[in-house]
Structure 1
Amino acid sequence: MALAEVQFQEIKNFAREIRIHTLETLNQLGFGHYGGSLSIIETLAVLYGKVMPMTPEIFATKDRDYFVLSKGHAGPALYSTLYLKGFFDKNFLHSLNQNGTRLPSHPDRNLTPGIDMTTGSLGQGISVATGIAYGKRIESSPHYTYAIVGDGELNEGQCWEAFQFAAHHKLRNLIVFIDDNKKQLDGTTDQICQTQDFVSKMQAFGFEAVRVKGEDIPAIYDAIIQLQESSSDKPKAIILDTVKGQGVPFLENMEANHHLRLDAEMRQQLVEAIEHLKAEREASL
């Protein structure tokens, strides 16, 4: 079922709010993982805004969907999402990476409300997400496990071991998003380790796989529903064709935007980007 126009606008507005708070949180810190946080925001907005109902009350229960951010360096975007869903207040959000914080730069399930899995050691999150999905299938749960992995993260062999396990056990309740933003810590994925075509690779590993534009909210939603309604017992993969720094032209055009330490010029450009997003918000009211 396609998104109604009002639902699309709600999710679009939600994504804008996530982007605003992600930028504000990183700006007040003065450094952090801008690029890979911004590239997954539309996907987070679709999941938390429509597909995967989540509140602190739902999270406290066992019988629900689960989410694992395997590319844990994108934590700031997830934290902003959880803040907007009522898991904590703005002071908590803006304690990111401060001394004594419960909001470390990478998600920690023992510290931060709303986190299902501690991540940051790349490759490990998808393995645990696969284990969660396997456990839920044993329980005959109708719920899904969603996970986001990075394209650079897929240099890790552990990811492919997890994918092989998921396919062998027919974990159709596992939906993996691959954030194909074409950059990683040290450069572009083509320079470091060519990824080839993720759709054909995931299909070869026994997944049902599709590719969508990572900023296209209706396409992301439609892909999720299409895969959920599929009669196949294969695990599912959605390859997100994204841009690192997505939604902020200044960052999109920056060559090295994985982790930034702001100078005065960068800070001013990011402040202007926030003001532009807020003006869009006002115009949409």
Structure 2
Amino acid sequence: MDNLPQELVDHISSYLGTEDLKQTLIVLPAFQVAAEKYSGVFSDFELNKGTARRFVNTFGGRRLGYLQHLTFRIAIPALDEKVDWEAHPDGHPVRNFEEDLREADESFTDQIKFFFSIVKEMEDIARSEKAHGKVKLTLYTPTRYIDRENYSIQRAYVSWRAHLLEPESLPNPTSVYALRIENGMKVSFDIEYGPESLRKIDLRMMVDLSNKFPNLAALHCSIGGDEWLDCNEDYRQRSITKDWAAPRRDSRHDFARILDVAHELSMQS
């Protein structure tokens, strides 16, 4: 048994079910490796600040080769503080000011930087053990918790986009070969929204992120849908829920500019 080649052990283990693979974990180290590979236990992982150390410890080695799908969700700071409406004759709890938008961008960027730094740390450890992997990554657009008892419905429908600041400072993870960007929550055409609010992203982020993954072979983007919420018969609800033209235009222009830059860089290389 000790002399069985790993390829043969892998072939045997590939025919075993999950319960049988559990039984082979303690037979030999070669069977443990095969059991981890074919059990599917290490095929999916949701990365967040609470699971970051476990992620690095688990996949900073041969198990990186077992990881198939990695997910990451983003939530900007909640609006859940008590509001003294009489102290805000300017309607501050209703409106989004420049400071609010900047704080949202900074929070969004900090979480993206955290994700990239953890993945890069894991890859550096795995590389030192001559391990590698091919991972499909799903990034979810940011959401925000809103206390409906203290904030008006306008704060749930924000046309301004979340921006990724200084994308050039991000490291370049090599294990990601497919990127998918999805809405952070289900888009509903009903005016009755829940405590979670969906935040839109600047479209250029798709290109900025793609440029940071040198081995990226596929990009899928499944966002939007909330742009068409102005179908309500009540004109006040249409005004609140509609996606305003100026932020959409700015986002399209940002996307076009970064595409031109990416094209010029590709022509120079």
Question: What TM-score do the two structures reach when normalised by structure 1?
Answer: 0.29
Question: What TM-score do the two structures reach when normalised by structure 2?
Answer: 0.30
Q: Relative contact order (alpha carbons < 8 A, sep ≥ 6): 1 or 2 greater? A: 1
Q: Larger radius of gyration, structure 1 or 2?
A: 2
